[in-house]
Structure 1
Amino acid sequence: MRRLDHIPGPPELGPLGTLRTFTRDRETFVRNTIRAHGDVCRLRFPLRDVVVFGHPDDAARYLNDTDGRYQKLGYRLPFRNRLGGLSFQEGRAFRDKRSAVASMFSGARLARTFAGMAEIYDNRLDAEVDQARTADGTVDLQRVLHRLLLAGMLAAVFTEPFEPAEIRIIDQGIRLGTGAFGFLRLMSGPPNVLRGPDRLPATAPVRSYRVIGARVRARRARPEPLDDLLGALLEIRTREGLSLDDAAVTNELVMLLSASYGSMTAALSQTFARVLAHPAALERLRAEIAEVEPGDHAVETVRGLRWAKACFEESLRLQSSPPLLRIAAADSTAAGFDIPRGTPLAFPLSTIHRDPRWWSDPEDFRPLRFYDPAPRGERPTLAYLTFGSGPHRCLGTQLAYLQAQYLLSVIIRRYRLELPPGWSPTETPGLAPTIAGGLPARVTARHEL
């Protein structure tokens, strides 16, 4: 049990420390702690204390470290480079693999991947909306986005289609795995494996791993390669000329899926919720969509949807994102405080993203702050770090922007969307904070108006 009594923070409240108070309202508790105790403070949990950093410059110092002194899973976990996937690896093996994987999300390969996903969104959107429509005409737009993004990601990764039962197994396994990880990180309650329509079978992660592993083995035996993300992973070679084995490729695919469509569903659902509740932002988005027609699926055309991008970024700023975490693999100091090796370090995105020192009117939805960045003033570089920073910055950032800009434009162009009177979103805490109960919208095809 590691205690950091030399660092200021809330007093201990029994054997659970501050855990109970923290889990009641994570965002408010962390924000108030930083305000009361400074930009470097500690939270007391049952097994160890966590050091929290509220200043973007501290985030830059630790997140941008390239010497392996601040790691995602910790210095003494011997299997991290085998089981954790690229997201949690360190050292030379990590750098070599990341350099190879980065080509999957840039240049011509990014353009091909996005074009294939956009075609799927075009072809499936109407059917997904109709399937999600209730008797009174209301559609859970969050469910529509989830199904679209899942279909697009699976096609980008695997090319060959899955059976519906296999898709259900993969989706359940990914959702249970990410839910369990969020629970272990104290970012949410436990995933539901007991009862009700939202129950996830406890065996789902193992079953999904088997389905994905079988697809990897089948592809390995295929004589001709396919131009998808699985094919790119199979092409990776180490400095010694060795390829990744089936287990390593399967791990990477599981981690890739875990970090993709669920997070995008949450982010886009909240973007739609905020845009639809903000008439001026919605009208400006409609005007931009009328001017920029992204139907050719060209990357540069979609990137021209600058207001759509600004709405997405501002929504991400307001989303209750979980903190970024690192483990100190070496002793260090911060603001004059000793940080022992093995200490968990937390960088609370939501607190930094709503800090009035860096953001005027931080609780307001104002996409203009991203559309016209000139007024940023003295804002530190990492005052906005939704996609992380440094060696572990999200590789799929550009693909995420393209998907967001495209789906915002396609759905707004194709439908008229209206929120129920008086409705406002409530987040479900988690690694990807979705809207509790879904995003209800009255959806009318524009040719029906």
Structure 2
Amino acid sequence: MASTWTMLALFALAAYILQATIRKKKNGRRLPPGPRGLPILGHLHMLGRFPHRDLHQLAKKHGPIMYMRFGFVPNIVISSPEAAKQFLKTHDHVFASRPVIQAVKYVAFEQKGLLFGEYGPAWRSMRKLCALELFSNAKINSFKSMREEEVGLLIQSLKQVDGGAVDVSAKVSSMSVEMTCRMVFGKRYTDEDFDEKGFQSMIQEGMDVSSTPNIADYFPYVGALDLQGLKPRMKAQNKVYDAFFEKIIDEHAQARDQGKTKDFVDILLAYMGSEDAEYPIDRSRVKAIMLDMLVAGMDTPTTTIEWGLSELLRDPPVMKKLQKELDEVVGMDRMVEESDLENLEYLDMVLKETFRLHPVAPLLLPHESMEDCTVNGFHIPKKSRITINVWAIGQDPNAWTDPEKFFPERFVGSSIDVKGQDYQLLPFGSGRRHCPGMQLGLIVVRLLLAQLVHCFDWELPNNILPNELDMTELFGHVTTRANHLVAIPKYRLHK
């Protein structure tokens, strides 16, 4: 025990000397303003259960471009639309990379995927491949009937509840998993396909270990010591993913030999190892992309629907107004179809307001500066992590009137969109790192929320009043409700 404390004391001393040296080297360069930090820790002690809210409060005092140091890692925190535009458009070429994060390195195949891959020629080729082949309009449209089928099965299961309370979060999550598996892998994967924990538990374990705060990410010099014992868990989880994806690749290889091609994995395999292909990729990159798509497809729609339906339950007049639009556009004799979505203007307003108040990732995935840069007169050091606080941007009173209020009508006559060109609203990011699956994600959440609101009237159980609905957050890679949404559906269509 004594030797452990001696080692930590020596590390702390060495870290303090190194930190002082780094600080001296930066003398004469104007860093962005920020709060006073502690030796070694920097500003880590200032973050609590809800880092996006903590950073928002600090930015009110120190400004929309704020310097903070988490351990040895310099962080630049962005909290206004104007500042976000500087980092995601004007200087996007400098901040297009991702930092090396230990969990992603060990769990997600050496950061070879789209979400966390470091910027460079290999990443750009992979991104172009996915944009042209996986997320093209033609490919998205090819899964239209499957999406409507999966949403229809969800509606049927809710009809069978017959006025009883239902765990909406769990129902929507299960549907999202099945829809994602069918689009990506060509079939559903259930708990019966796994010997021990089950399919969703397998994915959740990976999310849990990746979300655990890791000392090694802030103090890289102690990463080898693994003081928290996370590395074995990460490597074990990667083995689980690897075995699962190997099984899928083998199944698809056999299907391709029979002339069958139908899903995203088939497209990826067509480019794997091909010397003639414009975008050759290896087996580990295929697995990394599969994991990216699986995680993103499972969590994003579920979280958005949770928050959107929660806000509608808290505001019955808005719910009724949305139902009125659906009744006029779709009618009461059938369910919503994807072709109806472009005519549902108020639905789009409700979703924009949901994205503004409850962005799935309130702190976008971190960017990293690839070289020294000057932004608004501030020195941004190479290897700084750039944190875009989109939740704080959604609360900016200079961008939004009454920002704490859920008010879809604020978008009436507004050209603000969610596609990354309006920096007041960035749920999918912007620039080189904006979400490549944005169009598919928007179709899924629009269809699902429209269907739930059109097919059912909703009430809260146990005589809970709308303003009493618990809206506590649970912060993580995605910020979900702390408690599942439970509500009572009552079927309202004529058929």
- TM-score, normalized by length of structure 1? 0.85
User: Displacement, 1:370?
Assistant: 3.1
Selected match of 1:283 from 320, 328, 331: 320
Structure 2 unaligned runs (5+)? 1-18, 216-232
Closer, same or farther: CA 343–69 of 1 in aligned 2, 3 Å: same
Q: Deviations over 1:122-179 (max 9, x none)?
A: 024333675xx69x92211111110111111111112233343337644223223233
Secondary structure of 2:75's counterpart equals: strand
Contact 1:174 1:258 in 2 (8 A): yes
Contact 2:323 2:453 in 1 (8 A): yes
1:51 match: 76
Q: Could you tell me how far apart the structure 1 residues matched to 2:485 and 2:235 are?
A: 27
Selected match of 1:248 from 285, 299, 302: 285
Secondary structure of 1:23's counterpart equals: coil
Selected match of 2:149 from 113, 119, 123: 119
1:226 match: 261
Q: Which moved more, 1:205-214 or 1:367-376?
A: 367-376
Selected match of 2:354 from 310, 315, 330: 315
Q: Could you tell me how far apart the structure 2 residues matched to 1:301 and 1:264 are?
A: 19
Q: Which moved more, 1:170-179 or 1:387-396?
A: 170-179
User: Displacement, 1:41?
Assistant: 1.5
Matches within 5 A, 1:32-431: 32-64=57-89, 65=91, 67=93, 69-73=95-99, 83-89=111-117, 90-103=119-132, 104-127=134-157, 137-166=164-193, 169-184=198-213, 203=236, 206-222=239-255, 223=257, 224-236=259-271, 240-241=276-277, 243-293=280-330, 299-319=338-358, 321-324=361-364, 325-373=366-414, 381-419=422-460, 420-421=464-465, 422-431=468-477
Secondary structure of 1:10's counterpart equals: coil
User: Displacement, 1:411?
Assistant: 1.5
Secondary structure of 1:221's counterpart equals: helix
Closer, same or farther: CA 53–375 of 1 in aligned 2, 3 Å: closer
Q: Could you tell me how far apart the structure 2 residues matched to 1:78 and 1:24 are?
A: 25
1:442 match: 488
Q: Could you tell me how far apart the structure 1 residues matched to 2:247 and 2:32 are?
A: 50
Q: Could you tell me how far apart the structure 1 residues matched to 2:285 and 2:415 are?
A: 45
Letter in 1 for 2:186: T
Q: Could you tell me how far apart the structure 2 residues matched to 1:417 and 1:259 are?
A: 28
Q: Could you tell me how far apart the structure 2 residues matched to 1:24 and 1:162 are?
A: 34
Letter in 2 for 1:393: H
Closer, same or farther: CA 447–67 of 1 in aligned 2, 3 Å: closer
Closer, same or farther: CA 219–137 of 1 in aligned 2, 3 Å: same
Q: Could you tell me how far apart the structure 1 residues matched to 2:234 and 2:123 are?
A: 33
Letter in 2 for 1:424: D
Contact 1:267 1:315 in 2 (8 A): yes
Q: Which moved more, 1:278-287 or 1:154-163?
A: 154-163
Q: Deviations over 1:64-84 (max 9, x none)?
A: 356455412269x99999643
Selected match of 1:7 from 32, 38, 46: 32
The count of residues paired between Structure 1 and Structure 2 equals 429
Q: Could you tell me how far apart the structure 2 residues matched to 1:62 and 1:15 are?
A: 28
2:230 match: none
Closer, same or farther: CA 202–446 of 1 in aligned 2, 3 Å: farther
Q: Could you tell me how far apart the structure 2 residues matched to 1:311 and 1:340 are?
A: 40
Secondary structure of 1:441's counterpart equals: strand
Contact 1:74 1:326 in 2 (8 A): no
Closer, same or farther: CA 292–228 of 1 in aligned 2, 3 Å: farther
Closer, same or farther: CA 425–448 of 1 in aligned 2, 3 Å: farther
Letter in 2 for 1:426: T
2:14 match: none
Closer, same or farther: CA 441–395 of 1 in aligned 2, 3 Å: same
Secondary structure of 1:87's counterpart equals: coil
Closer, same or farther: CA 231–433 of 1 in aligned 2, 3 Å: same
Closer, same or farther: CA 7–266 of 1 in aligned 2, 3 Å: same
User: Displacement, 1:371?
Assistant: 4.6
Q: Deviations over 1:387-422 (max 9, x none)?
A: 001111111111111111111122122222112322
Contact 2:49 2:475 in 1 (8 A): no
Secondary structure of 2:423's counterpart equals: helix
1:190 match: none
Secondary structure of 2:371's counterpart equals: coil
Closer, same or farther: CA 105–369 of 1 in aligned 2, 3 Å: farther
Closer, same or farther: CA 69–144 of 1 in aligned 2, 3 Å: closer
User: Displacement, 1:448?
Assistant: 11
Letter in 2 for 1:322: P
**Percent identical across equivalent pairs?**
22
Larger radius of gyration: 2
Q: Which moved more, 1:363-372 or 1:311-320?
A: 363-372
Q: Which moved more, 1:251-260 or 1:58-67?
A: 58-67
Contact 1:173 1:206 in 2 (8 A): no
Q: Deviations over 1:356-376 (max 9, x none)?
A: 011111011111233531599
Letter in 1 for 2:433: H
Structure 1 unaligned runs (5+)? 187-199
Letter in 1 for 2:446: Q
Secondary structure of 2:478's counterpart equals: coil
Q: Could you tell me how far apart the structure 2 residues matched to 1:448 and 1:205 are?
A: 49
Closer, same or farther: CA 415–431 of 1 in aligned 2, 3 Å: same
1:189 match: none
User: Displacement, 1:24?
Assistant: 4.3
1:192 match: none
Q: Which moved more, 1:428-437 or 1:54-63?
A: 54-63
